[in-house]
Amino acid sequence: MLEVVKKADSLGYEYIAFTEHNPAQKGHKDSQIVDLLKRKKEVVDKLNSSLPPNLKTFKKAFNSLEIDILPNGSLPVPVKGFDYLDFALCSIHSSFNQDKSKMTERVITAFSYPKTMIFAHPTTRILNKREGVELDWEKIFTHFLENHKFIEINADPARLDLPDSLVREAVKLGVKMTLGTDTHYVTSMDNMAYGVSVARRGWAEAKDIINTLPLQDIEKLLLKY
């Protein structure tokens, strides 16, 4: 985690969020999942309380989680587990062939849970490998706008998801977005430039992207969740 923090500081970031995938339901009781999330929060809190004094811009790491949206829209994290998160991302990793109506309801149901804030790599596409899922974007955008939820522009070069055409629609409707690198290795943090390019092609400006906000404004925003 400290390696990631140092990289973030070198990029001029004030903050980042650790958003690893949720613990697997298979092999874990609900109480064990909650315990894992509690322990992770303790690690992130300790990191924040002992940041190196020579950091130039970095101030805080947020404790988050990327949670799998199950086929019926439920989330494999007990409600108690959300108490240990600053916020949550949710994403689809299975059952890609549901029809548009079911897939749309699946997403909307997932974003009724506490602290669910960001729809990560929302079309699920992987370039040259997998087409995106079918979603009713008018309903998704309306729900997110009315409930203050955000949609990710994933900067991984294999994803670039939300696509620029949908970024443009989100901008026109006033739906706010986030930029994320989908980092699994520290070097992947350099992918942000690709996400910024997608945002620009969709005519997004800084005001349309939530994590261009300074830390104090992000902290105020999170108080709503």
pLDDT on residue 94: 95
pLDDT on residue 27: 84
pLDDT at 114 over 90: no
pLDDT on residue 25: 81
| Distance separating alpha carbons of residues 15 and 175, to the nearest angstrom | 23
Mean pLDDT for 123-129 is: 97
pTM over 0.75: yes
Q: Which domains does the chain have, with CATH numbers?
A: 63-222 (3.20.20.140)
pLDDT on residue 225: 80
The percent of residues above 90 in pLDDT, for the chain, comes to 96
Q: How confident is the model at residue 140 (pLDDT cuts 50, 70, 90)?
A: very high
| Distance separating alpha carbons of residues 53 and 69, to the nearest angstrom | 39
Mean pLDDT for 151-176 is: 98
Mean pLDDT for 119-139 is: 97
pLDDT on residue 174: 98
- Which residues, in sequence order, are bridge partners of residue 152? 178
Q: How confident is the model at residue 183 (pLDDT cuts 50, 70, 90)?
A: very high
Where do the H-state alpha helices sit in 66-136? 100-110
pLDDT on residue 203: 98
pLDDT at 224 over 90: no
* Residue in this structure with the two tokens 């874990």, named with its chain if needed: 28
Q: How confident is the model at residue 105 (pLDDT cuts 50, 70, 90)?
A: very high
| Distance separating alpha carbons of residues 208 and 179, to the nearest angstrom | 10
Q: How many separate helices (H) and strands (E) can be counted in the chain? A: 7, 7
pLDDT on residue 26: 85
Mean pLDDT for 110-137 is: 96
Q: Which residues neighbour 27 within 8 Å (Cβ) at sequence distance 6 or greater?
A: none
Q: What is the pLDDT of residues 10-68, one digit of tens each?
A: 999 999 999 999 998 888 999 999 999 999 999 999 999 999 999 999 999 999 999 99
